[in-house]
Structure 1
Amino acid sequence: MAAFRYNTAWRVILSVLFLISSDLRSGVLGARQVPCYFIFGDSLSDNGNNNDLKTQAKANYPPYGIDFPEGVTGRFTNGRTTVDIPSVPKHLGFDKYIQPFATAKGCEILVGVNYASGGVGIRDETGQQLGDRISFNHQLQNHLVTISRVGEMLGSNASAYLNKCMYTVGMGSNDYINNYFMPNIYTTSELYMPEQYADVLIEQYRQQLKTLYSHGARKVVIFGLSVIGCAPAIISTFGTNGSLCVDKINSAVLLFNNRLKPLVDELNCNLADAKFTYIDFFGISMAGLPALRLVSSACCKVRDDMCIPFETPCRIRLLHAFYDGFHPTEMVNLMFGARAYKALLQSDSYPFDIHHLAML
């Protein structure tokens, strides 16, 4: 059994190495599949928006960014994030990574903006114990600022331009790990059973996604939550009672994820020209991460579940699923991003992957 798990792990690693090498070889920029790419999310997508905030949720120091070409940027991993992967030349056709709202300027916004902020969720209060953050509702307000600037540049063509862009939204993880499962700080677990909480989250999410649509978004990718109950920090805090992960957290996450497909159907049916789609990161995780259970501990040395500044991380980062207590390594992000762009299994996306969505 151990030999089987070892060999399986190396098959996964070798397949990811092939993806990385093919990314590096594909430096020639083809035609962009969409004119711009807007990103909304939490620390899994944040690429620098939290750097200057008064918050514990920031990653603007080594050893974060150790494998990223630009070094330390504020990404909560050793290299690229999941949302970086679809933008590369071999996928959506961008020659640069999308810039954070905090620093994007001038014509840069015409190729897109990343609004993501570590620690946030669907609910405004989520992550408040961490300090300052840019909630999803605030990210939507920041997008209005961008829309105004695009309007100044493109005039009457701005609306049609924004309709053609790609939008990705990854929200909800912190509504569990930095809200519902922190009963000493938040009351949500007292007010709602897990089923009820999933309903409450989905209702607010529905309204926020409709707001994004009203701002001109038509091609919208909704990322499902991953196996957050398998994160080293979660396992350390809650224990597993003999399981590989914290089952009660993964079960709660599934209640939320199971409501996303019906939400996608509803939005697509009721909103003119809407093309929402769902990426099943939980299912992708279950298919890809079990082989890496041998190395599910954090790659970097952690304090308060974040990398200790300037400490040397593990040498063979391809063998680790998690970089710190919560966030995946670039290898895992590459797996997520590649399968979000082009589904490996039919179950990876619904009703279509990012590649097919771009073509619509």
Structure 2
Amino acid sequence: MNSEQKRWLIMSLVATIFLSNSSCYNVHGSPQVPCYFIFGDSLVDNGNNNQMASMARADYLPYGIDFSRGSTGRFSNGKTVVDVMTELLGFDDYIQPYSNASGSEILRGVNYASAAAGIRDETGQQLGARISFGGQVNHYVTTVSHIVRILGNVDSAANHLKQCIFSIGLGSNDYLNNYFMTDYYDTSHRYNAKQYANILIRQYAKQIRILYNYGARKFVFNGIGPIGCSPNVLAEHSQDGSTCVAKINSANQMFNRRLVSLVDNFNRNLPNAKFTYINNYAIFLDLIIHPHKFGFKVTNSGCCGVGRNNGQITCLPFQTPCENRNNYIFWDAFHPTEAASTVVGWRSYNAASPSDVYPIDIRRLAQL
């Protein structure tokens, strides 16, 4: 093992041990920011879909098998990336889902994420109920009105919100559960990949401006990961079950490049706001290409699920998952294990490589 591999492995092991043995970092102090607002899909949903008429739910075992609170609706065996980030930012508890958040606890942030959600309203409709990006932003606007009442006036609310971090991670479903699902959607017939990426970015930017107009100032844009390498896509489209599907990854990268440009645009043109981009594509691809650097052994199948390479269906209720979960990058057909989320969260917070983030990592964003 060369020195670079040793360095990455040590970093990963330290982060994993540190996170797994502490429910928070800043037990005896204040968090680095007063609040953390989360918008996204199943990668970060922590319970908003639990009461919905939806096939996109994870409120049953074995989901949450390694989580201290059990099956909460997280699409993981344990923590998600935003749970890891919450700990790194020093919060003394995880951010509540919008479906449960109430009273003064909304002052510390809300998780609006919804499994199967997309930037486009119709995305994921074949799975049933879900809350699109636009719906999540509407819920945030409602939350702001409550914050104004709690703090007493608009100025106090604005001063509070400008210090918070706003994390946005959508777009995966707009490809997996829209553009490349031709049996249900016609978007791939109406738009080529470049046109579709442009449309998504315009809709994305529209929602971001609403968040800005309602007090958001510190933004984290999470790029789409290499979903052409997920167990589901490998099972459905890869000839050998292990080679990533270039067509899908290429489309994702088109979106990500435009998201980086949007960061530049907004940093220039939205006063007093700061935007940064997390390069989930590069970070996650590093795990897949160099798994042994991070202690992983299985890259092309999920720890639970059925079908070829455990890639066609997510965890079935009360299914027995693999025992060596820390060896797997993927928990089910789409979602990372807690072990993988820990590495991604750590590198998002404290960039280990200049390519991990643009222009700054979340640690530095919190300090601004």
Q: Deviations over 1:56-76 (max 9, x none)?
A: 100000000011111110000
Calculate the aligned-residue CA RMSD, in Å: 2.0
Q: Displacement of 1:281 after TM fit?
A: 0.4
SS in structure 2 opposite 1:355? Answer: helix
Q: What corresponds to 2:105 in structure 1? A: 108
Moved more, 117-126 or 25-34: 25-34
Q: Displacement of 1:15 after TM fit?
A: 4.3
The yes-or-no answer on 1:18 pairing with 2:14 is yes
Q: Deviations over 1:58-107 (max 9, x none)?
A: 0000000011111110000000001111111xx21100000000011111
Q: Deviations over 1:257-306 (max 9, x none)?
A: 11111110101111111101100000111222223385121101337521
Q: Deviations over 1:291-326 (max 9, x none)?
A: 338512110133752101101110010110111111
Q: What corresponds to 1:299 in structure 2? A: 303
Letter in 2 for 1:145: T
Q: What corresponds to 1:326 in structure 2? A: 334
Q: Displacement of 1:242 after TM fit?
A: 8.0
Q: What corresponds to 2:356 in structure 1? A: 348
SS in structure 2 opposite 1:289? Answer: helix
Q: What corresponds to 2:347 in structure 1? A: 339
Q: Deviations over 1:130-172 (max 9, x none)?
A: 0000111000011111111111110121111111111000010
Q: Which runs of 5+ in 1 are unaligned?
A: none
Distance (Å, rounded) in 2 between the aligned partners of 1:204 and 1:261: 15
SS in structure 1 opposite 2:82? Answer: helix
Distance (Å, rounded) in 1 between the aligned partners of 2:100 and 2:51: 11
Contact persistence 1:302–1:324 (CA under 8 A) = no
Q: What corresponds to 2:137 in structure 1? A: 140
Structure 1 residues 242 and 162, CA gap change in structure 2 (3 angstroms): closer
Q: Displacement of 1:255 after TM fit?
A: 0.6
Q: What corresponds to 2:325 in structure 1? A: 317
Q: What corresponds to 2:279 in structure 1? A: 280
Structure 1 residues 310 and 224, CA gap change in structure 2 (3 angstroms): same
Distance (Å, rounded) in 2 between the aligned partners of 1:348 and 1:294: 22
Q: What corresponds to 2:146 in structure 1? A: 149
Moved more, 103-112 or 115-124: 103-112
SS in structure 2 opposite 1:315? Answer: coil
Contact persistence 2:16–2:343 (CA under 8 A) = no
Moved more, 284-293 or 304-313: 284-293
Q: What corresponds to 2:78 in structure 1? A: 79
Q: What corresponds to 1:98 in structure 2? A: 95
Distance (Å, rounded) in 1 between the aligned partners of 2:118 and 2:174: 5
Distance (Å, rounded) in 1 between the aligned partners of 2:287 and 2:11: 11
TM (normalized to structure 2)?
A: 0.92
Contact persistence 1:126–1:178 (CA under 8 A) = yes
Structure 1 residues 111 and 15, CA gap change in structure 2 (3 angstroms): same
Letter in 1 for 2:129: D
Aligned sequence identity (%): 50
